[in-house]
């Protein structure tokens, strides 16, 4: 039987290198617990966890569990669905009756006894939840956040500043968000995604509606305008219908100025250095939630002006005469947001995009939409598909996707050869996009551009 979630001695993470898993690992480490974990791949994130005193190993072996005296009575196992069911450690832990919870179940337990703000959506949830977290922290409110991205201001996906409010991302994958107990919900989008789980867009929308129904009687739902949800608080940009709205938008060099109007008050002359209209949308709803729970206009303006963004969310590097942008976009809608932002802030500048497709199933399901999105670059390079948890699907390859892109200048490269290809190309704007290990290109590209 599962005892109180915070009363174990050891916390063992299967898939500790996942962005959401690592945030939970940091939470239990802060509580003084022994935190250990397995992941199949060493990354910058897992190396950071090791430097923070968390023991991470990379060989799937039951010997590690036994050697560390991990027993059902002293250890809670936290797993991500991304860990394959045939993993030796996963099988051993089940056979030996360890207490095992999914990451979302742990988040739900942590949020039961505090005021929980949960941000869901197929796109935008990381940025929105990060802005809310930063607004509260910068106003020195008692709060914590457990997020799916590394917030630049704290160089972490976890921050503790008290127990009164908990901000979490509500992940739709595997219907994880149905394990949460939120007091405020924000839903940013309900596009078709994870069709390997949901099969149809209608099932995706149905699941988000189930998530919205988890609010208590006095709970509050914020939703982007034009979503089919029963909300009193909709948000948008230059909107005629949303009651939380950004207007008077002015594009400046390196930042944006705008005003926000909400049912809870109006905020004027906001300065926000995270580019793109989609990010202004995120700022609108984050500010509206902050106003609703009691932050002042000045606290919100200060928080927005000092928010430095999230790693891999339209991260921009100005290097000599070039602009290099790195983004986590791995869905056609997200790629469109990137290219729309390029047109807004860098009109008439030649752009090269490097895209690493994520999952064979997603590539197959959205191939035509990917092709249209990628054709908005002036030139595109497509890397091999990053498989993550999946096995290959016959006929679904990067070259197959590339053939669908209606661009004269398009190329296929591997992760190892793409930098050499880049050196042959002429561009002003370079963008890397994808959710796999394309982030390993960021530092080599910056180094090359600086040379």
In this predicted structure, what is the pLDDT of residue 380? 98
Most confident segment among 5-9, 228-232, 425-429: 425-429
Give the residue-averaged pLDDT of 257-277: 94
Dist. CA 190–CA 228, nearest whole Å: 9
Give the residue-averaged pLDDT of 232-260: 93
In this predicted structure, what is the pLDDT of residue 201? 76
Dist. CA 14–CA 38, nearest whole Å: 5
Q: Determine which helix (DSSP H) or strand (DSSP E) holds 284, and give its type and residue range.
A: helix 277-292
pLDDT above 90 as % of the chain: 77
Of residues 229, 231, 214, 151, the one with CA closest to residue 177: 214
**Do 119 and 186 contact (CB within 8 A), yes or no?**
yes
The HSE-up count of residue 240 (CA atoms within 13 Å, CB side) is 0
The Cα angle at residue 246 between residues 241 and 250, in degrees rounded to 5: 135
Residues with Cβ within 8 Å of 44's Cβ and at least 6 positions away in sequence, in order, are 439
Q: Higher pLDDT residue, 389 or 161?
A: 161
Say which residue the tokens 């450690």 belong to. 89
Q: Determine which helix (DSSP H) or strand (DSSP E) holds 405, and give its type and residue range.
A: none
**Do 370 and 385 contact (CB within 8 A), yes or no?**
no
104: tokens are 């979302």
Q: Determine which helix (DSSP H) or strand (DSSP E) holds 159, and give its type and residue range.
A: strand 156-160
pLDDT band at residue 195, thresholds of 50, 70 and 90?
low
Give the residue-averaged pLDDT of 413-418: 96
Say which residue the tokens 């988040």 belong to. 107
In this predicted structure, what is the pLDDT of residue 374? 98
Dist. CA 273–CA 316, nearest whole Å: 11
pLDDT at 193 over 80: no
pLDDT digits (tens, 9 = 90+) for 49-61: 999 999 999 999 9
Residue 221 CA to its chain's centroid (Å): 20
Dist. CA 218–CA 234, nearest whole Å: 17
In this predicted structure, what is the pLDDT of residue 192? 64
Of residues 228, 130, 132, the one with CA closest to residue 187: 228
Dist. CA 36–CA 44, nearest whole Å: 17
**Do 134 and 94 contact (CB within 8 A), yes or no?**
no
Of residues 87, 85, 81, the one with CA closest to residue 104: 81
In this predicted structure, what is the pLDDT of residue 1? 45
**Do 338 and 277 contact (CB within 8 A), yes or no?**
no
pLDDT at 355 over 50: yes
pLDDT at 317 over 70: yes
Q: How far is CA 332 from CA 257, 358, 372, 433, in A?
A: 27, 12, 8, 11
What's the predicted TM-score (pTM) here?
A: 0.86
If you average pLDDT over every residue of the chain, what do you get?
A: 93
Neighbour order of strands in the sheet with 55-57: 55-57, 34-38, 10-14, 75-79, 99-102
Say which residue the tokens 């050196």 belong to. 423
Residue-by-residue DSSP string for 352-363: EEEEE-B-HHHH
In angstroms and rounded to an integer, the radius of gyration of the C-alpha atoms of the chain is 22
Q: Please report, for the chain, how many H helices and E strands are present, in that order.
A: 16, 21
Q: How far is CA 31 from CA 7, 79, 214, 289, in A?
A: 10, 19, 28, 28
From 178-187, 189-198, 311-320, 321-330, the region with the lowest mean pLDDT: 189-198
**Do 342 and 431 contact (CB within 8 A), yes or no?**
yes
pLDDT digits (tens, 9 = 90+) for 279-293: 999 999 999 999 999
From 243-252, 312-321, 345-354, 392-401, the region with the lowest mean pLDDT: 312-321
In this predicted structure, what is the pLDDT of residue 198? 66
């Amino acid at each position: 039987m599962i005892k109180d979630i915070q009363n174990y001695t050891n916390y063992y993470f299967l898939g500790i290198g996942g962005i959401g898993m690592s945030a939970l690992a940091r939470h239990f480490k802060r509580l003084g617990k022994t935190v250990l974990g397995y992941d199949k791949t060493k990354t910058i994130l897992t190396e950071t966890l090791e430097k923070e005193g968390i023991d991470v190993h990379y060989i799937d072996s039951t010997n590690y569990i036994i050697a560390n005296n991990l027993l059902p009575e002293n250890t809670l196992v936290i797993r991500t669905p991304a860990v394959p069911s045939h993993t030796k450690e996963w099988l051993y832990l089940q056979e030996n009756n360890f207490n095992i919870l999914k990451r979302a179940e742990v988040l739900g337990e942590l949020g039961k006894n505090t005021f929980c703000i949960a941000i869901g959506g197929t796109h935008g949830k990381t940025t929105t939840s990060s802005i809310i977290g930063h607004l509260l922290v910068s106003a020195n409110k008692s709060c914590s956040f457990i997020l799916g991205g590394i917030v630049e201001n704290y160089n972490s996906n976890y921050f503790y500043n008290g127990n009164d409010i908990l901000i979490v991302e509500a992940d739709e994958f595997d219907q994880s968000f149905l394990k949460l107990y939120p007091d405020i919900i924000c839903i940013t989008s309900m596009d078709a995604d994870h069709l390997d789980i949901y099969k149809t867009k209608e099932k995706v929308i149905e699941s988000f509606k189930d998530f919205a129904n988890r609010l208590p009687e006095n709970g509050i739902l914020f939703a982007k305008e034009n979503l089919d949800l029963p909300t009193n608080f909709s948000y948008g940009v230059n909107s005629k219908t949303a009651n939380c709205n950004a207007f008077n938008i002015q594009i400046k060099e390196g930042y944006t100025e705008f005003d926000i109007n909400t049912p809870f008050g109006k905020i004027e002359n906001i300065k926000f250095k995270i580019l793109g209209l989609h990010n202004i949308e995120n700022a609108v709803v984050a500010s509206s939630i902050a106003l609703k729970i009691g932050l002042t206009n000045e606290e919100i303006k200060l928080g927005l002006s000092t928010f430095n963004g999230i790693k891999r969310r339209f991260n921009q590097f100005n290097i000599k005469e070039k602009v290099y942008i790195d983004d986590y976009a791995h869905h056609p809608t997200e790629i469109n947001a990137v290219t729309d932002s390029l047109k807004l802030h860098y009109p008439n500048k030649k752009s090269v995009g490097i895209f690493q497709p994520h999952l064979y199933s997603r590539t197959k399901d959205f191939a035509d939409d990917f092709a249209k999105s990628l054709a908005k670059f002036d030139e595109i390079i497509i890397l091999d598909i990053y498989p993550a948890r999946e096995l290959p699907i016959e006929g679904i390859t990067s070259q197959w996707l590339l053939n669908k892109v209606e661009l004269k200048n398009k190329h296929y490269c591997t992760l190892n050869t793409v930098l050499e290809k880049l050196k042959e190309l002429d561009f002003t704007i370079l963008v890397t996009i994808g959710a796999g290990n394309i982030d390993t290109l960021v530092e080599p590209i910056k180094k090359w551009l600086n040379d």
